[in-house]
Every structure is written in C-alpha cells, then in structure tokens.
A and B are shown apart, each in its own frame.
Chain A
Amino acid sequence: MKLWALVKKEARDILGNRIFLLVVVVQLLIILGTFGLALSTALVNDPAVLDSYGVNSAIKVGLSEDLNQSTLVDDLEAQKLQIEYFNTTQEAKRLLGTDLAAVISISSEGEIQVEFDTSNVFYPVASTKVSKAVDTFQLRKNLQSRELSEEQIKVIQEPVKLRIINLKEEEAVKIALDSPYFVEVMYGFIVPFILLLPFFMASNLVTDSIVGEKERKTFEVLLMSPLPSSMVVIGKIIPILTFSLLQSLAWILLLDLLQVPIFNTLLLLLILFSVGLGFIGVGILISVLVDSTKEANSAITLILVFTTFILFVPLFIKSGMFQVLFSFIPTVLMVKIASSPVVNPEVVVYLLPTILISILIFLGTVRSFRHERAIRL
C-alpha cells in the first residue's frame, strides 16, 4: 500500500506537470508531420499514386518542334505527361531541372535522345513514365519493320503476362496510400520511431524524478520512509513506464485512425515494455552517477544519440555479415510484427535477448541504487 501511495504521488506529479503535457502535444505534431512527409514523398516517387491523384501537371517534358507529329507524343500523353514544344533543344535544356523534368529530341540519325536532370523532385516518376513511352514507341517502330503474325506480335509485346488475383478483398485492411514506397517508409521506419518516442522521453522523466529529489533535498526524507530503497525506485518508475506505454498505445490508435493499421498490439507492447525497462534502467544509472539535472540532461542526450544509432541504423543498412545480428534489434522486430496480421512464432525467439538484456539492465541499476554511496545526498 505504501508503494501504491508513492506511485499515485508520482503519477499526480507527472500529470500535473505542464511540460509533460506539452511534450505529448509535440509528439502528436511529430507524428502528423512524419505521416504527411511519408505521404508527400510517396506521391513524388510512385507513378501510380501520382496518376490516381491527378497531379501530373507538375511533370513537364520538353520536346523539340520536329517531334510534334510523331506518334511518340501519343505515347507520352498516354503516360499522362505534360508536353511543351520548343524551337530548339538548347532552349528546352535551359529549363531542364527547374520547369522541365526531361527533354526529348531526335538526332539527325533518327536516334531518340532523352535528357533528365536528376535534381528535379519528380525525376523518379518522370524517368519511369518517359522510359515506358519511349519503349512503346520504339517497339511499335520495330514491329512495323518486320513481317510478323498477330500471334508473334502479341508475344513480343507481352512475353510474360502477369495476372493478379486479389484475395479476401472484402476483409481488406484500409491503408492511407496503397503504395509500396508509403508502406515501406511507414512500417520500415516511421512506426517504430513513433512508438518509441514516449520511451525516449521516459528516461528524462526518470532522471528528473530522482535527481530532482536530490536537488530539492527531499530524497533523504523519501528514503527515511518505511519502504526499501528498491521499492522507492520501483514506485517512481511504475507511473513513468505506464504513461509511456499508454502514450504508445494512443499513437497506435492514432495510426489506425490515419489508416496505417498496426497489428499484434500486445506483442508490440511487450517489446516496448522491455525497451522501456532498459531505457529507464539507464535513466536510473545516470541519476545515481550525477549530481544535478544539468549533468543528467547532458548524459541522457548522449546516451540517446548512441541508442538511436543502435536502434535505427540497422533499419537502413543491408549487411550480409550482420544481418542475423540485426534480426535481434527491437526496431527490426517491430517492423515485422507491426506490419504482419499473423506473426511467425520464431519472432519470439528473436525477442528473448531484448527482454533478457532489459531485465538485466533494470535489475543491475536497481541494485546499484540500493548501494549507500549511490544515494548519497
């Protein structure tokens, strides 16, 4: 009951802290910002998405006047590209990269010359669409110069036919943008980042709670209460861990509202709980070692830089040698768990080291806290 009293007091302190509420609001802004960024980058990277939203007017292609009557124009228009004609190629090239995404001209030998400026934001989409149009044009020209049967033409135009059959469409999960780029960026980086945000803040709350007591000289009184010192620490961390988990749960619901469905919530909460325990453990260790909030803040900032490195860099690196090791990183596991409706049971095996290391960090730091020198005032 005494522990419960301490938990309630700490929870009240956190909830009454206007700065904590401000931090929650800032996280909300970060989530909406990153979601918007993922949507907009998917838009400029995915031709299908760009077509479906009808914003092709942004992609302009410059053509020399002598191509005006060519069937290439029809092929480019079929790709929904905006065409602008220029008297000379030089004139068009001056606008390449700024107003124009590509310039197409024809040489005296009849060769089609396509020039792109890769610094144009729409280069990935422009490149795909122009290549498709030029390939179709070239293929038509090639087929015209040969005497082929209809059957042969059909095979040459489409030697491999792909039929896609959609299963369980009636139970389809709604996704904000059914684009590979959006799905990869959201699940591959943004989801673990968002769900871990509250825990990055948690280590700061721990140091503030413990070092704050040291600074206000109230820790001595707290330690004189009929509670073992380890219970004091546990009493302090229960509300922090609970609030962090609740925040992560709220962000999961928010992502669901934004049509980024998150699966296996319970398993994700287990990973977050383990990572949180590790973060809080490090927070306690820092609180034990430092004398002031200022020192604690500096140390926490540095620790967070290294932790960010360990947690997020493996998401972006392809390494044959370390790939097996990367499979144990909590963020890598979160990517697989959050995006799969049914999770492979072997994931639990990969999860064990995270749970074990977190518990060890936590127990080790609680033990160090009980040491008399550590709680010196």
Chain B
Amino acid sequence: MNFMTIARWEFKNTIKSRKFLVIFFLQIAALFLFVMVFNSLAENLESNEALSITPSLSGFANVDVDDQGGLFTRHLNSEVLTLKNSSYQQARNRLERGLTVGYYTVPPESVTLIQDGDQVETILYLDYRDPKRSVVREEVNSTTKTLSTALTTSYLESYRPRNITKQPGVTETTSGESVPLQLIRKVMLSVLLFLPLFLFGNLIIDSVVGEKERKTVEMLRALPLTSADIIIGKSLAVVMVMALQVAMWMIIILGAGFQLKNALMVYVIVFLTTIPLVGLTTIIATYSKNYKEAGIGLTFAYIFISGLLILPLLGYIINQSTLANLSPMTMVMRLSSGETIVMGEILLSLTFIVIISLISYGTSITLFQRDKVIFGPRPSIIRLTMELMGLNKDKKTRSHKRRIRN
C-alpha cells in the first residue's frame, strides 16, 4: 500500500495549489460556454427544422433585384443574400465590376400575370467569376420552387370542377433523430463528458516530469518504494482529481437541462476511462526530458486518443457497428441516450479499458525502472519500443549474457 502514501501527497499538493484551483474554475467557466453553444445549436436545428450544420453566413452574397411587384423579393432569403434594388443597366454595370454575384429580374407586371393565371418568366444573371454563384443559384431556385408550389396548388383549386372530389393526398411521416441533431445532442454531450479527462494531462506531466526538472527524481528513486508504487501512486492522485472534475461537470450538465439517462453508469464508464488515459499520459511523462517535450507529446497523443474515442462513435451513428462499442465514448453515448445495452457490449468496452490500462501502466513502470530513460542518455523511441517488445535487447544485457555463456 506504499502507493497510497504517494497518491495522498500528490492529491493534497494538487488540491492546495492556488494555480490549480484557478484553472479548475476557469475550465468550469469554459464548460458553461460550451453548454450555451450546444444548447443554442440544438435549438437552432430544432426550430428551423434545419438538417445540416452550416455557418449562418449573414449577408454572404450580394444580389441585385428588379421586382416591382415585390412578391419574389419577399421570398428570397435575406439572411444569406444582401438584396439591392437595381435597374437592368445598373445591375449589369455592378455585375461587370464584380460588386454583385447575380441579378434577378422579375417582369414588372408579375402580380397581374399571376392574377390572370399566366406564367411568370424570371431571369437570373449569374457571375461565374464568383465562387458564391452556387449559393445564389440555390437560393433563387428555392424561391422559385416555393412560389411555384403555392401557385400550382392555387391554380388546381381554381380549376377544380364542382363534381370532382378532392384527390387523396400524401402523408409524410418521419422517425428517428437527424444526424446533425444526433451529433449535437448525443456526440457533443459525450464529448463534454470526456473533456475533463483531456484537461488534466498537465497534472501527471507536472508530477513526473516536474521531478526530473527539479532533480528530485533521484531522491524519489532512492526511497524504499518500487517503481510501481511511484507510478501508480502518482497516477491515482490524478485519477482522483479527474473523478472530482467529471462529477462536477455532470452536475452542471444536468443542471443546464441536458437529458442524461443512466447517469451513475455513465459516470462509472467515464471514470474508468480516466485510468488508461492517465496510464498513457504517464508513458509520455516518463519518457519526456522536459515540460516542453512532454507538452508537445501530450498534444499529439491526445489528438490520436480523441480520434480513437470519437471515430467509433461516429461509426456507430452511421451503421450501428458492434465493434464501435470498443470505444467507451460510444458506450457513454448509448447509455446517456437511454439505449438498451446488452452485457456483452459493456464487457467489450471494459475489456478494452483493462487491456489498455495494463499495457500503459506496465510500460510506464518498465520505463521508470530504466536509468537511461530517467537520467539519460535516452534510447530512441523506436529502439525502446523494439526492446520492450523483446525484438532488440539492450547492448549491456547482450554483452552480460555473452559473458555468462563464456
């Protein structure tokens, strides 16, 4: 139980640090911002019945319009298009100078034509030197379609003889949640729950690399403690801090009105994920010479690990693959959205966590035992990996064995 002593020291030191507390609360402030953004995005998607996450693009493209009746202009999307009333000559001049992407012209007698049941011919001039041409084309097409549908219905109604009963219509029903909404509601929620895990990498770096930079690692190694005690003790302290942070974030997320089913089970899975993550961070910390090197290593490792967690989850949304359950994030998303999960799927995820934990802590302990890794000169990562895999023995070990044989 020597590792508990180390864990206690480290935990106390961390909690007492004023800088840690500042960062801790600033992270919570950042969480509030995230929650605000996700809520606003989800509301936006739901209220507009939008199906994709695209930028709002206020006043993205300029379009000149000649519509004296005003009916067509009213139906153009004025949020994306900046509309300007122009005559043909003015508009052509502006098009020539590249000041507008398109010129939309509607006959001056459009309203009379509609009242008389005649076709209205509109023209859109598009400047092909502007990449936004497709946006303008789409917006004008959409306006034409909206007005056409309304007019077709109205004309059909007016041409309906009295003896004809109304044709059976069409009913459209939808089920399921759209992919963008799933991304916002489920994926983003899972990402939020896992975010604190990635914010405390610096703690383990400080705990291990700090000893090297402060030259106290020699003393630590001289203590009557095994390398396993030191590594597990230091990691345990960080796992405890993360457990606290995850709990606080979950309370905030629940308080913000997010629906989080199976909250306790979700907490357990997120908490268990901290163990291999801290283990992997410890490998980087044990190998790194200084903070700078560890910081860069940590950034790349976290990008890779985030990918490992998120990609299976996206895969699960697209085709419900069983293998996607390997990622604890998939499991958290399914649990938090109230999906039924069989024991085998939970075991799959837990087995993955246990295997990565064993490998990462085993590697960290082995590295910490090696004088060359701690005091230098360090072997290269490739050589070290080969040695750990038993493919390339250390020179000293080989010469030692040779001496024994002789």
Contact = CB atoms under 8 A, between A and B. Distances in A.
Interface of A: 19, 22, 26, 41, 45, 96-98, 107, 109-121, 123-124, 127, 131, 134-135, 138-139, 141-142, 145-148, 152, 154-169, 171-173, 175, 178-185, 187-189, 208, 212, 260-261, 292-295, 297-298, 301-302, 305-306, 309, 313, 315-318, 323, 326-327, 332, 335-336, 339-342, 344
Interface in B245-304: 290-293, 295-296, 300, 303
B174 A342 contact: no
Given A111-B171, A118-B175, A163 B122 contact: yes
B276 to A, nearest CB: 22
Given A118-B176, A119-B179, A156-B159, A139 B152 contact: yes
A14 B131 CA distance: 37
Given A185-B54, A188-B54, A171 B128 contact: yes
A138 B170 CA distance: 8
A319 to B, nearest CB: 9
A173 B122 CA distance: 25
B interface residue count range (under 10 / 10 to 19 / 20 to 34 / 35 or more): 35 or more
Contacts of B344: none
B54 A184 contact: yes
Given A115-B173, A165-B126, 6 more contacts: A118-B175, A160-B151, A183-B131, A184-B60, A305-B30, A317-B56
B305 to A, nearest CB: 15
B182 interface: yes
A116 B175 contact: yes
Contact of B134 (A162, A178, A335, A341): A178
Contacts, number: 263
B291 A293 contact: yes
B385 interface: no
B70 interface: no
Interface stretch (B33-41, B350-358, B365-373): B33-41
Given A119-B179, A294-B205, A180 B23 contact: no
A173 B148 contact: no
A293 B292 contact: yes
Contacts of A156: 152, 155-156, 159
A189 B60 CA distance: 12
A158 B118 CA distance: 10
Interface stretch (B137-145, B236-244, B396-404): B137-145
A184 B135 contact: yes
A140 B368 CA distance: 78
B340 interface: no
B130 A298 contact: no
Q: Which 6 A-B pairs have the closest CB atoms?
A: A188-B55, A342-B98, A119-B176, A172-B128, A159-B151, A180-B138
